[in-house]
Amino acid sequence: MKHYLILITSTLFLLGCQSSKEDIKEQSLKTIHHIDFSQVKINDNFWSPRLSKHISTTLLVCIDQIENQTGRIRNFENAAKGEGEHSGIFFDDSDVYKALEGIAYSLINNPNPELEKKADEWIDKIEAAQQSDGYINTFYTLTNLEKRWTNMDKHEMYCAGHLIEAGVAYFQATGKRKLLDVCIRMADHMMRQFGPEKAHWVPGHEEIELALVKLYQITLEDKYLDFAYWLLEERGHGYGSMGNEGIWNPAYYQDSEPVRKLTDISGHAVRCMYLYCGMTDVAALRNNTEYIDALNRLWNDVTLRNMYITGGIGSSKHNEGVTKDYDLPNLEAYCETCASVGMVFWNHRMNQITGDAKYIDILERSMYNGVLAGISLSGDRFFYVNPLESKGDHHRQEWYGCACCPSQLSRFLPTIGNYIYAISDDALWVNLYIGNTTRFTLNGDNVILRQETNYPWDGSVKLTVSSTKDLDKEIRLRIPGWCKNYTITINGKEVGLSQEKGYAIVYDWKPGDMISLDMDMPVEVESADPLVTENIGKRAIQRGPLVYCAEETDNSAYFDRLTLTSDTEYHTSFEAGLLNGVKTINAKNEQQSITFIPYYAWDNREAGKMKVWIDYKE
């Protein structure tokens, strides 16, 4: 791959826009439906330890911080009593909701009575803090309810969105409605204040839009989808305001023009990701081709001109977002963990409505590099910012005053299974290569998918589909953008294949067949787009989906003089005792022998410098 920013044209296809509520319940307006993580049991050497750490460590860290180290849960207790101070930042309620969502997802595949009891305790406190008119936000309840809904940047709808996502998740996990009913009352309260013939509102931090779509899908109430669409349409008409608390910056808030006319990413990176997710959801359900056109333009702008090799976005600290095209500094890179999670969310949605593997390529890049770097191997420390170079003073922390990233990871990690498989009318789609056993029902038949692989360390994948009758579906295996050579065999016999939009299509198979995909996984030396001036005369190392970096601890003798050349030879070695088991890359030339480790694993040993982009000489 010559550049890590690649232009790939796409063709879009959608199903019809009208259907009954029964159709919506099955999400049949989307072209492709992912197989839910609740039906996926991951069992591989790479992801299983991380999921175990999520249960044993990450969730407990979040609970401890929320209950004991900060005032987040106390804010709800005070709001219920109607007395006491509000501690922390005005949007801290959202951390409680995201941690609750993470608990709900954990309970789905790993039932735990004590964890469920803890969630129920929190939900009781949340319900008690809700006002009689349905409003819930501890900041305004404890400071001045008269000032609610006066500043569009005070994250009221952002917090409400995370409340809704948690309420839907907990209902799906346990069947308990208490938190879902709190969500419904808050959503109905907002709709009494805002909407057609009512007051205008532009959420300063997007999130409510995609959450309302989830509420619509669980309740089948059209009004929630309509409200999501109305909120999207509010942007770009001059309605944004911070009241008397500051000057509204339309570019920062994605409010410069109507969303259907957007061409370039602007402002805060995480807000952009949530906006694009909401647009994609609404576009799929309403067959809104203007939204789809805008999303295609935005995707090209993000991935071709504003994305790091790690799949991270947001190069600038001052606005936690973007500045100008190709401004991608390494040492000062912001690359918020939440933004990388947002890239996974958005690209997953785009794949579902297009069937194009290029979106999963970006999803995978962001997930294995930008997201995984955000959490320590021990599961108890977190990066908010993910630079591509460090002078030795950037480290993960136990928590943050603005703790969106730890709680974001707590809800993301248990849902990894969402991104592996999908189903459409004519195909079974295999998007990610993760060892697992998946069970689901299709047309009354019990289907079992088994995937065996040592990915991302090697490119060998074995897939078996078991069912009692012919599924009458082709199998589409994603061929990652990094893969130049591959073979596919059925029961050991190589088969001829066609390829479409990045998927190899297997037609002639039957239940019980062993389908093997073998992808060459050489070390790749990557160059940046020449317009990225920061990386002129530099190269980065990638192998499979993993971006690599050099740490000072492995290269202390000449770290500041690290140099790759055209004659450098690369050798890989799996080291089981290093960083929970990693495949290292040794780059050797006449001048040096450089050790590279996966970027996600840096800063898990002694403090030291790090860099992704290395000086290069022909």
The first and second tokens of residue 572, run together, are 């890989």
Q: Tell me the helices (H) and strands (E) count for the chain, helix number first.
A: 16, 23
| DSSP assignment letter at 335 | -
Name the β-bridge partners of 446. Answer: 441
Query: How many of the other CB atoms lie within 10 Å of CB of 21?
Result: 9
Report the C-alpha gap between 360 and 480 in whole angstroms: 8
Distances (CA, A) of 60 to 55, 77, 130, 373: 8, 20, 26, 20
Give me the active site residues, please. Answer: 320, 404
- CA angle centred on 322, ends 319 and 326, rounded to 5°: 150
The residues, any chain, with a CB within 8 Å of residue 489's CB and separated by 6 or more, are 495, 515, 516, 518
Report the C-alpha gap between 94 and 157 in whole angstroms: 10
Judge contact between 152 and 241, C-beta under 8 A: yes
- Helices 337-354 + 358-365 axis angle, to 10: 160
Q: Name the residue among 197, 227, 222 with its Cα closest to residue 209.
A: 227
Per DSSP, the residues of 236-287 read TSS----TTS----TTTTT-SS-GGG--S--SBHHHHHHHHHHHHHHHHHHT
Distance in Å from the first CA to the final CA of the chain: 18
**In degrees rounded to 5, what are phi and psi of residue 475?**
-110, 130
The residues, any chain, with a CB within 8 Å of residue 126's CB and separated by 6 or more, are 76, 96, 136, 163, 179, 182
Report the C-alpha gap between 180 and 188 in whole angstroms: 12
The residues, any chain, with a CB within 8 Å of residue 477's CB and separated by 6 or more, are 430, 463, 488, 503, 504, 506, 515, 517
Half-sphere exposure of 26 (CA within 13 A, CB side): 11
- CA angle centred on 94, ends 91 and 99, rounded to 5°: 150
> In this structure, are strands 498-500 and 503-506 parallel, antiparallel, or unpaired?
antiparallel
Report the C-alpha gap between 527 and 408 in whole angstroms: 31
How would you label 225-244 residue by residue, b for 16+ Cβ within 10 Å and e otherwise? Answer: bbbbbbbbebbbeeebbbee
Query: How many of the other CB atoms lie within 10 Å of CB of 115?
Result: 18
Query: Collapsing DSSP states into helix, strand and coil, what is residue 590?
Result: coil
